[in-house]
Chain A
Amino acid sequence: MNIIDVEGLKYKYPDTDKLALNDVSFKVEKGEFIGLIGRNTAGKSSLCFALSGLVPHFFKGAYGGKVLVDGMEIKQHEIGEIAAKVGLVFENPFSQMTGSKYSVYEEIAFGLENMGIERKEMIARIDESLELLAIKEMKDQNPFDLSGGQMQRVAIASVIAMRPDVLILDEPTSQLDPQGSAEVFRVVENLTKEGMTIIMAEHKMEKISQYADSVLLLDDGELIDYDTPENVFSRDDLINHGIAAPMVTSVAKAMGMKKSDTGKYPVTLSEISREMGDQR
């Protein structure tokens, strides 16, 4: 069953002339991990906002087409309702902390309080997210006392606790140091194992090729390609869309090493080493 169904989505921010999203259509199945790639201003964030209802409800502007999440049309519902189905985490961990809560535990509770979840259920959900995001030991700390990576994990936990069907991560590690990014990717990996549907916009192609079932390539607001990582990263015109393939793929391209089964370039280390093994 398709959890996300986007049909001919067009969107223009208020007071601009250019379409930020131009006729984008795609479908996502439940439990899939979609990597969203494209140069800056390609429309990645706009697409994330469109899936979470911020476009058109928060940003206004001109809107066309249809976005369905779990059968619910985004345009016809309020953000509050959508937030129960779609969770969004974005770049800056600081501004995602509400600022009205004095401990990580209460911070995670914030969304649940707004949704009107019963207290018992709330505690169960908070404990579960604390566990999943590996932040149990800091549950009594003030969110603002944490490091960037820890804070970002709290932000993800706060969204996960609301049990959305889809988790959208809009460049979740671009403002973090390497250690913080590693922490966040580790929990993202856990979440994929839990079978959560995840859409992640990211510039670190190695991570995309490692986790993604499919890659969605955007440029200039248009959907260029939506395919498996090896098909997308094997494209010859990748550089024209402002994307550099993962290091592994670049090396394989330079060496002319294609996968024997699909005829495409390998995208992960394990694939390339398998190829090397075959050739040896």
Chain B
Amino acid sequence: MSAMTLYVEKNSIIHHMDPLTKLMYVFVSIAATYIVPVHEFVFLTAAFSLLLIIIGKVFMKILPIIAISIILIISIIIVQGMFHPDNKTVLFSIGAITFYQEGLSYAVLLTVRVINMLSAFGVLILTTKPDELIERLIKKGMSPKIGYVFLSVLQIIPQIRATMGKIADAQRSRGMETEGSLIVRIRAFFPLIGPVVLNSLNDTRERAIALEMRGFNTKGKKTFLNESREYPYRKIIQFLLIAILMATIVWRVLL
């Protein structure tokens, strides 16, 4: 049973960074590309995010994620290229369709922002164990209940999916058709989803009891099995990130 996580186990300097620093990087790099709408700067930020991905040895994992967003990117290019309100300079025409320079230039900006966003999140998600990230956040004061929800979802959804498979098999063995035309599939949906939902509700109740018995609701201070470890250059990097964010704001104001 694999948990629903995109984390890739590798040994790189990015993997050893503090999850909170990475989380901060996500925010700063995304915010920066919006605060300073200068092509060169946005390109540089995206390139830097991709560089981090490459250092983190997860470049091949980010490619399919970027590929999925191609549809979004293409639609941005078409819409902005043809219809951006500032459109003046005709770049080229294909039959009746005309693309303008201003729109395309803006589309490129948006595209690079999207790629930066995906890469920045990729740095966080592909190189950070979810439990490490959540534990860091809980230690920083996030509610353990919210942390529990995030973590358990990753493991319990695959569990529910497995139950669903079992129920589908059981119903099929009793002669229910689950494959074929759309109508057949829709008809099969309710006898399948009913037991799954009831089953999950029952499991949830039992898990709530189990959590209670493990003292999850105890009010006292929690401790942690994993020691808070010292992350390399944590303070310097976090300081730099904040400085960069400030700098971009100043730049924007002066622009």
Contact among A83, A102, A116, A144 with B222 in the assembled complex (CB-CB below 8 Å): A116
* Cβ-defined contact, B225 with A98, below 8 A: no
Instruction: Mark each residue of chain A from 85 to 123: 1 if its CB lies under 8 Å from any CB of chain B, else 0.
Output: 001101010111111111001100111111111110011
A101 to B210 alpha-carbon distance, docked (Å): 14
Given A113-B222, A114-B216, A115-B218, list of 15 further CB < 8 A pairs? A78-B217, A78-B218, A80-B212, A88-B209, A95-B207, A96-B210, A102-B155, A113-B223, A113-B225, A114-B218, A116-B220, A116-B221, A119-B225, A119-B227, A142-B3
0 or 1 for each of B183-213: is its CB under 8 Å from A? (1 = yes): 0000000000000000000010011111111
Residues in A neighbouring B21, C-beta threshold 8 A: none
Instruction: Point out residues on A near B: beta carbons under 8 Å.
Output: 52, 54, 58, 78-81, 83-84, 87-88, 90, 92, 94-102, 105-106, 109-119, 122-123, 126, 142, 144-145, 155, 158-159, 162
**Which of A79, A98, A100 is close to B217, meaning CB atoms less than 8 Å apart?**
A79
State the CA gap A99–B200 with chains docked (Å): 13
A105: B residues at CB distance < 8 A: 225
Could you tell me which B residues sit within 8 Å of A by CB distance? 1, 3, 129, 131, 147-148, 151-152, 155-156, 159, 203, 206-225, 227
Determine whether the beta carbon of A80 is less than 8 Å from that of B152: no
Inter-chain CA distance A86–B211, complex, in Å, is 14
CA–CA, A166 and B157, complex, Å: 34
Please tell me if the beta carbons of B152 and A84 are within 8 angstroms of each other in the complex.
no
Q: Report the Cα distance A137→B225, complex, angstroms.
A: 19
User: What is the CA–CA distance of A9 and B186 in the complex, to the nearest angstrom?
Assistant: 51
Q: Is the CB of A94 within 8 A of B203?
A: yes
Q: Of A83, A95, A106, which is in contact with the most chain B CB atoms at under 10 Å from its CB?
A: A95
> B227: which A residues are within 8 A, CB to CB?
119
Give the docked Cα–Cα distance between A84 and B203 (Å).
24
Q: How many residue pairs at the A-B interface have CB separations less than 8 Å?
A: 120
Q: Which 6 residue pairs across A and B have the least CB separation, nearest first?
A: A80-B218, A95-B206, A111-B214, A100-B151, A99-B152, A114-B215
Tell me if A80 and B215 are in contact (CB < 8 A): yes
Of residues A111, A117, A142, A158, which shows the largest number of chain B Cβ atoms within 10 Å of its Cβ? A111
Task: Tell me if A119 and B212 are in contact (CB < 8 A).
Answer: no
B159 touches A113 (CB 8 A): no
Nearest-CB distance from A140 to chain B (Å)? 13
**Pick from A58, A84, A95, A106: contact of B225, CB under 8 Å:** A106
**Cβ of B131 and Cβ of A101 under 8 Å apart?**
yes
On chain B, the residues within 8 Å of A144 by CB distance are 1, 155, 159
Q: Are B156 and A99 in contact (CB under 8 A)?
A: yes
Q: Compute how far the CA of A23 lies from the CA of B3 in the bound complex, rounded to whole angstroms.
A: 47
CB pair A79 B213 closer than 8 Å: yes
Q: List 21 A-B contacts (CB under 8 A).
A: A78-B218, A80-B216, A80-B217, A80-B219, A90-B206, A95-B206, A98-B211, A100-B152, A101-B151, A102-B131, A109-B225, A111-B213, A113-B224, A114-B215, A116-B218, A116-B220, A116-B223, A117-B223, A119-B227, A126-B225, A144-B1
